[in-house]
C-alpha cells in the first residue's frame, strides 16, 4: 500500500444483503482497501443482527493492514429496521427489516388514531408506511408480547453496529437525526422523540438511544476488534443520508437512483411535510433535510420485460404507440399497492423493442413524477440543474437516455462507487478534521463523472403516459 496523503478512515455500509467496508485516505478520498461479507435474510424479511456484526468483522479483516491503521470509523445502515436487545445486549429476536410490511394493519390504526396523514406529516415529517420502525414495534407488541416485554433496548441497524464498535451497553447507545427521522417516533418539528407517539405504541423512551449531533462522536473503538483501539467512532446515519453525504450534494441538486426499486431525493433547507405520504420528510445527517420518494418497480421490472420479450435489456427501439406501466410488484409512487403491470396501445406495427422502450418509459415516468414532488417547493432547484444518476441502472445507456428524454434535464453519472460507504467515510473524516462531511466529499470530487446535456423533453410520450395512468387508475386500484 502506497503511503496515504492523510489519515485513513473507515466507512461501513451495512445493507439488507451484505456489509461493505471501505478504507479511505481522508485527504484525497482514495480507496486504499475494501472488504465485503454477506448476510442471510429470511423469507419473512427478518435478519439476525449478530450476522451483521460478524459480517462487519469479516469485511474489516478483508481490508488487511489498512483497517488497523485507521484513525476514525463511521457506520451507515439500512433504514427502518427494528432491533430489540435484552439486558445483556443480545438480540431478543431477529430484526424486522425495512421491506417487511406485515405491520400494515398497525400502520393504518396508528395513522388514524393520531390525527390522520396531515397531522403525522406536520408533526413527524412523514406519513409512516409499513416500513417505518414505529409500525414494527406496534406489530411486535401485538403479536409477540413476550419479546416486547423482554426488550431492554430498541435500536436501528446502524445504532446496533455503532454500539458494538464502541462496546456500549444497552444504556449507552447512540443514533443520529438522519436515521432517527425514519423511525416514526422522532419528530422533525421538535427534533426529538415524540412522547405521544411513544406512549401510544407503549415504548419507553429510556429504551431508545441518545441522539448525537452532527460532528459529535458516538464514542471510541473498543478492544479486540480489527481496528485500532480508542479511535473515534462517528455518529453514523441511515443509508440514504450517507449516500447524500457521499455525493456531497448542495440543496436543490436532484439525485435519481436506479436499482431494484427507484429512489429520488435532494438536500433541502426546508422541513418537508407531505400529507400524501409520497415524500418522506427525512432529516439529513447534518442540519438540513432530505425529502425522498421511491418507486417499487425499476430495473428488475424492466429486466423482466426484456426477458419476456427475449431481448437484451439494451435492445430498445424508438417510436410506436405502446404504453407500459410496469407495476409488477404493486406501486408506491403513484400509490397503487395492489396494481399489476399494464400494457396497451399495441398495433400490428408494434415491435418488441418498442414495447421494451415503453417499459423503460413507464418506470422513468413514475420516478420523475416522484422527483417533481421532492423538488416541488424547492426554490433552490433550477430546472436545468443536472440530475445525478446513480445505482446499478445508471451505467445503462437505455436508462440514461430515457431519463434525459423524459426529463429534459442534463444528466451526470458519478464514477464513484459504494457511495453509502463513502458517505460514512466522509463522516468519519469530517469528525477527525472538524469539518462538514459533505464538504469533505466535495473535496474528494465524488460526484465527478460523464455529463450529458439536456435534450428536448418528449412531451408526446409524457402526455401519453399521464393519460394512460389516469384512464387505468380504477383498474389498477382494484385488489
Told to judge if 146 belongs to the known catalytic residues of this protein, a careful annotator would answer no
Cell of 148: 416486547
H helix or E strand, kind and range, residue 218: strand 217-220
- DSSP structure string for 87-147: TTS-BSSPEEPTT--TTHHHHHHHHHHTT-HHHHHHHTSS---TTSHHHHHHHHHHH-HHH
Measuring CA to CA, how many Å separate 242 from each of 161, 334, 371, 395?
15, 26, 19, 21
Rounded CA gap, 180 and 187, in Å? 9
Return the ∠ at Cα 411 (arms to 30 and 271), rounded to 5°: 85
Return the C-alpha cell found at 362: 413507464
Residue reference for cell 394493519: 105
Neighbouring CB atoms inside 10 A of 189's CB total: 13
Rounded Cα–Cα distance for residues 22 and 93 (Å) = 29
What does the alpha-carbon distance between residue 412 and residue 396 come to, in Å, rounded to a whole number? 13
Query: Which one of the listed residues 239, 274, 284, 458 is annotated catalytic?
Result: 239
CB 441, CB 424: distance < 8 Å: no
Per the CB < 8 A criterion, the answer to whether 265 and 272 are in contact is no
Place of cell 427507484: 262
How many residues are listed for the chain in this entry?
479
Active site residues: 239
Amino acid at each position: 500500500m502506497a503511503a496515504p496523503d492523510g489519515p485513513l478512515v473507515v466507512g461501513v455500509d451495512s445493507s439488507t444483503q451484505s456489509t461493505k467496508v471501505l478504507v479511505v485516505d481522508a485527504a484525497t478520498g482514495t480507496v486504499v482497501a475494501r472488504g465485503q461479507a454477506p448476510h442471510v435474510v429470511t423469507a419473512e424479511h427478518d435478519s439476525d443482527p449478530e450476522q451483521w456484526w460478524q459480517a462487519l468483522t469479516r469485511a474489516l479483516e478483508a481490508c488487511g493492514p489498512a483497517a488497523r491503521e485507521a484513525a476514525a470509523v463511521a457506520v451507515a445502515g439500512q433504514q427502518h429496521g427494528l432491533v430489540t436487545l435484552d439486558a445483556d445486549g443480545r438480540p431478543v429476536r431477529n430484526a424486522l427489516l425495512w421491506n417487511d410490511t406485515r405491520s400494515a394493519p398497525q400502520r393504518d390504526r396508528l395513522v388514524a388514531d393520531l390525527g390522520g396523514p396531515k397531522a403525522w406529516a406536520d408533526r413527524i415529517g412523514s406519513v409512516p408506511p409499513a416500513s417505518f420502525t414505529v409500525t414494527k414495534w406496534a406489530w411486535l407488541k401485538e403479536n409477540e408480547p413476550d419479546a416486547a416485554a423482554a426488550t431492554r433496548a430498541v435500536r436501528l441497524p446502524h445504532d446496533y453496529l455503532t454500539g458494538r464498535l464502541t462496546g456500549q451497553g444497552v444504556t449507552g447507545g447512540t443514533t443520529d437525526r438522519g436515521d432517527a427521522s425514519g423511525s416514526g417516533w422522532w419528530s422533525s418539528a421538535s427534533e426529538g422523540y415524540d412522547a405521544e407517539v411513544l406512549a401510544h405504541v407503549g415504548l419507553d423512551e429510556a429504551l431508545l438511544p441518545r441522539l448525537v449531533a452532527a460532528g459529535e462522536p458516538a464514542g471510541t473503538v473498543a478492544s479486540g476488534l480489527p481496528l485500532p483501539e480508542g479511535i473515534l467512532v462517528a455518529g453514523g446515519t441511515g443509508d440514504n443520508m450517507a449516500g447524500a453525504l457521499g455525493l456531497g450534494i448542495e440543496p436543490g441538486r436532484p439525485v435519481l437512483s436506479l436499482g431494484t426499486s427507484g429512489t429520488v431525493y435532494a438536500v433541502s433547507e426546508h422541513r418537508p411535510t407531505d400529507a400524501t405520504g409520497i415524500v418522506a420528510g427525512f432529516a439529513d445527517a447534518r442540519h438540513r433535510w432530505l425529502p425522498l420518494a421511491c418507486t417499487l418497480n425499476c430495473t428488475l421490472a424492466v429486466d423482466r420485460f426484456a426477458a419476456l420479450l427475449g431481448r437484451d435489456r439494451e435492445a430498445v427501439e424508438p417510436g410506436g404507440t405502446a404504453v407500459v406501466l410496469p407495476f409488477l410488484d404493486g406501486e408506491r409512487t403513484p400509490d397503487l399497492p395492489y396494481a399489476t403491470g399494464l400494457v396497451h396501445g399495441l398495433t400490428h406495427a408494434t415491435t418488441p423493442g418498442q414495447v421494451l422502450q415503453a417499459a423503460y418509459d413507464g418506470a422513468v415516468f413514475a420516478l420523475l413524477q416522484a422527483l417533481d414532488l421532492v423538488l416541488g417547493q424547492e426554490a433552490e432547484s433550477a430546472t436545468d440543474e443536472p440530475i445525478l444518476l446513480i445505482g446499478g441502472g445508471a451505467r445503462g445507456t437505455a436508462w440514461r437516455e430515457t431519463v434525459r428524454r423524459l426529463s429534459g434535464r442534463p444528466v451526470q453519472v458519478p464514477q464513484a462507487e459504494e457511495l453509502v460507504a463513502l458517505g460514512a467515510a466522509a463522516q468519519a473524516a469530517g469528525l477527525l478534521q472538524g469539518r462538514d462531511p459533505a464538504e469533505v466529499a466535495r473535496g474528494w470530487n465524488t460526484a465527478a463523472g460523464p455529463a450529458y446535456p439536456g435534450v428536448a423533453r418528449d412531451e408526446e410520450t409524457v402526455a401519453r403516459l399521464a393519460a394512460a395512468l389516469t384512464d387505468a387508475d380504477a383498474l389498477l386500484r382494484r385488489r
